[in-house]
Structure formats: C-alpha cells, structure tokens
Structure 1
Amino acid sequence: MNEQAPLIFGVVSQEAAALILSVAVAAGLGWWTLWSQRDIARARLTFETLDRKNWDQDFIEQRVQFGRLRHAKDIARYADPGKWPPEERNKFQEGIKSIQAILNDYENIAIGIRRGILDEEFLFRYMQSGLIRDWEAASPYVIELRNLSHIPHVYVEFEGLAAQWQNNMSYHRTDQPMPHRRRVVSIK
C-alpha cells in the first residue's frame, strides 16, 4: 500500500515544509552573518584610518598649520595666488598645501561615508564638532576657490557632510538622524 504524507494547506508535505523552513532559516542566518561581518570590517577600517592619521607626522604638521590658518580672518586669500606678494610666496605655498591636505582628507571621509565604506556613526562620535568647526573656518576659502576656478562642486562632499552633521543627520542615509551622543557623566 502506498501512503501519501499529510499535506500542509493541501499543497506541501510536512517533510518538504520542514526542508523549506530549514533552508529559509539557514539563508537568513547567513545573510545576517554577512552583514554583521561587513559592519565589523567597516568599523575596523574606520578605526585604522583614524589611528594611522593620528601617528602620521606629515599629517600632524599639516593639521597644526591648518589650525593656525583656521583662526586667520583671511583664509580665502589662499585660494588666489595672485593676491600674494612675491616675498610671501613660500608662506603661501605652505599654507595652501596645509589647507588642501586637510580639505582633501575631509572630502575623502565624506565620500567614504556616502559610499558606505567608512562607519559614519563612529566618525560622527569622534569628529563631529571638529569637522563642523573646520568647515565653517574653511568655507570662505572653498567659496573663493569655486568662484575663481568656475568649478562649483569643489569640496561639495565635505560641505554636504558638515551640513548634515550640523543638523545631526546622517550623510549616508540622508533621511535618518544620527544617534545622540552619550551624556557626559561627572564622577565625584
């Protein structure tokens, strides 16, 4: 006698349903593992990138020079070499090198965040206030550079990142707010 297995909803046998359920659970677990590993790799890359810059002597020097220029009221002058007297050209060249190094770094960070390569939440917690402060200081330079070069998209990623973070919004997922920072706890 040939007995048929009972059907679930009159369509699939219990054995087939168990197999389908097992495959679905395994696929879901595999997908979750893949995304978890991707998040870990992104966080590791972000940390290593920042850590490398913290110890890179050339970058430290550029950062110190940019810090001096950031406080100058005439940072926009560095966008136009023609405004510098010949005896100050070396000073100008060093200044422009520092400004461009820092702005290029921020532009790369913004692109890395936008593309999902770098961990935005990690960077937001680490550098939000400094990035916004540096954009506010460098924006006259960028505006002058855009006007002189007639290239309106120079450092547009950095500008976009600063604008989003100023409003505590994600740059990668533009419609989502960034998580709030943990509150400061004082220990007595």
Structure 2
Amino acid sequence: MFSDFLTILDDPANATAIRIVITLVVAVFTASFTYWITVTGRKISRERHTLQVMMEQDNNIEYRKALGVFHSVVRDGEMGLVGSGSENVSLLLEKQDAVRSVMNHWELLSISITKGVLDENLMIQFSGSQATRYWQRAYPFVEALRAATGHQRFYRNFEAYVSKLEKQHSKGRN
C-alpha cells in the first residue's frame, strides 16, 4: 500500500496535486484554529470585562449612595416624584437625580449587554432578578418622566432587557 503511494508520487502531476491538497488541508485547519482562538479570546475578554464592571458597580460610592436614595424612594412610595408642593424642592431634585442615576446605570448595562460588550449570561446570573426588580419598582418614575417630557424612549433599552429576562424566566417555568 505504501509502495503504491510512492508510485503515485513518482508522477509529477500527482505529486503536485497531493501537495496542493495537503496545503489546502493545512490552510483550512489553520484558519479554523485561528477562528476558534479569536472567538475564545473575545469570549474570555468579554467575561473578564463583565466581571470588572460588576466589581466596579459594587465599589462605586456614588452609585451606592444613589441606590440608597432609590430604595428609600421606593419604600416611601414616591416613585412618581412629582412633589406635593410642601416638599423641599432641593430634596425632590436630589431624589430625582438619584433615581435617574440608578436608571441610567441600568440603561447603560442593558445597552452594553445588547451590543455584546458585556457577557449576558454572567450579568443574568449576577443581577438578572435585581434588574427586573429595579425596573418594576422604577416603572412609575419612568412613566411620569415619559409623560412629563413626551419622550417615550427614556430607558427603553433597560425596559427591553427586562422584558427579555421576564420572557426567559416564564419559559423556564413552563
């Protein structure tokens, strides 16, 4: 059998054809391996960046302060944040700014997940239920903001992300 192969190689036309086939096989293997390395590298990079964002979120003092105000506004049932007229205007603005900061943070995370900058599976594991809960609690604020400004696009990426999470969650239950 090996002698038959050597006989085939004796013919220059066959030898050239075999060299071309071997070159093509090596090229396809190299391209496939390079593609796999690139995809794996991107995935690892995206996961590393996602972990970094999550750690920064936990350590961001300004975000933590805003989140504390957000929780107090939710607890006190003030998510409309319209003001009663008797409330201190600067306090009302402080509350609105805090809620906007939290919502802007989640809007940015939602855009980053949608665009593939952050790893969606890691974010879901880390804060999927948190995102849903924050959206549900902030929705009256978003409605009031949209109504007051006439802009229905405020926080639409966050809303779409939470909608996607809720659909995945409901599929998981069925």
For normalisation by structure 2, the TM-score amounts to: 0.86
Q: Distance in 1 between matches of 2:112 and 2:148?
A: 27
Q: Secondary structure at the match of 1:5?
A: helix
Q: Name structure 1 gaps, 5 residues minimum.
A: 170-176, 181-188
Q: Distance in 2 between matches of 1:90 and 1:84?
A: 13
Q: Distance in 1 between matches of 2:106 and 2:165?
A: 13
Q: Distance in 2 between matches of 1:19 and 1:139?
A: 61
Q: Distance in 1 between matches of 2:120 and 2:148?
A: 32
Q: Distance in 2 between matches of 1:52 and 1:42?
A: 15
Q: Distance in 1 between matches of 2:154 and 2:51?
A: 27
Q: Distance in 2 between matches of 1:121 and 1:64?
A: 27
2:17 corresponds to 1:13: yes
2:168 corresponds to 1:168: yes
Return the letter of the residue paired with 1:156.
Answer: R
| CA RMSD, 1 decimal | 2.0
Q: Distance in 2 between matches of 1:89 and 1:157?
A: 30
Match in the other structure for 1:123: 123
Say which of 44, 48, 54 aligns to 2:48.
44
Match in the other structure for 2:67: 63
**Structure whose alpha-carbon radius of gyration is higher:** 2
Matches within 5 A, 1:114-153: 114-153=114-153
Q: Name structure 2 gaps, 5 residues minimum.
A: 1-9
**Conserved 8 A contact 1:70-1:134:** no
Return the letter of the residue paired with 1:13.
Answer: A
Q: CA deviation at 1:87?
A: 4.7
Q: CA deviation at 1:135?
A: 0.4
Match in the other structure for 2:29: 25
Return the letter of the residue paired with 2:124.
Answer: F
Q: Distance in 2 between matches of 1:128 and 1:3?
A: 66
Q: CA deviation at 1:57?
A: 1.4
Q: CA deviation at 1:115?
A: 0.6
Match in the other structure for 1:109: 109
Q: Secondary structure at the match of 1:167?
A: helix
Q: Distance in 1 between matches of 2:114 and 2:130?
A: 19
Q: Distance in 2 between matches of 1:5 and 1:67?
A: 79
Number of aligned residues: 162
In terms of fraction of residues, the more helix-rich structure is 2
Percent identity over paired residues: 19
